[in-house]
Chains A and B, each alone.
Chain A
């Protein structure tokens, strides 16, 4: 299995009635690991069925395949249906390129820093 780590942390939400979590993904998401590793994010959605905001920190994500973007799209749908938001921070240029060509950037905004992502969630 290609190496990837998913670390999920709580952040102080800029919006009082919302929960904010940051998902740090390090390594490469591909066919060998994405089905298993993305479940860690789905567990967070199950534990927080409403009012959940997510920041995906992709600073250390070297590669992601189209299926992982499919999962992100699905997660976006589930989170936004239940009064939450999803944003992406610090994606590398090649990752931003993949996100753009698949069309995810039409749904999910990209930010250069965690702080600017948090500010966007507050607006």
Chain B
């Protein structure tokens, strides 16, 4: 008889504003090859209209996916809806997903399989950063790259928030009482991981498998300056909160974080200013030759000024 797989709950946080991306998020869970899964969808808004929209979406997906809708008070901060989800969670495995991000179909399978292979309670994988450009009412993926591709290192994680919230699955039985800090305006996901580290119970591993996408859009209404301020404030809070904590650092930890620090590699001339200038002069020569000019030499003490003059003649400016 095939042994039933342990249950996996995915807590999806939404404000109910991005209907299309939420549908994608939920379909990315429908597609998971891991069978025993459940979604706790937490609406972080008091709007009845948004709740109604959410229910309409879920009604269409229910035959394909076990989804429970919960609501949370909108006046509370970002960690609160995730805690509402955790309070309702009865599964062995838990992960989180925001309503603009997605998982790839094998994510649950590969992360849980790895967790069950070894003596682990946390497995993370590779998350791709996807940039989306707005075209009218829709978004088009325009760039893709890995956010990180390196072994799990708690020293590194303490210094920087490099694992996105949907980049891992953890064993809930080990961290049953662990909750997001509801005082944080931002970086609540980092704080959550730091709590795991300083609990002393974390047994983590990174596996080389693309498990999902972290999507960023070019129409983010919040200005960079405001966001920077909020991040700074949250960082300060976290620094104060964990300020007295100690972490054992091995030489290897540092070496893994900065493996190339003593790597001696010469700069390519092509990337230097003089290299760029030479390249530009070559381009210029080609352009002039196309116009049947013959260049005998471009050498003077005031070479750069003359070079600019030639560009002007051609109707171009210096780079």
Our verdict on whether A and B bind, yes or no, reads no
Measured CB to CB, the residues of A under 8 A from B are none
Measured CB to CB, the residues of B under 8 A from A are none
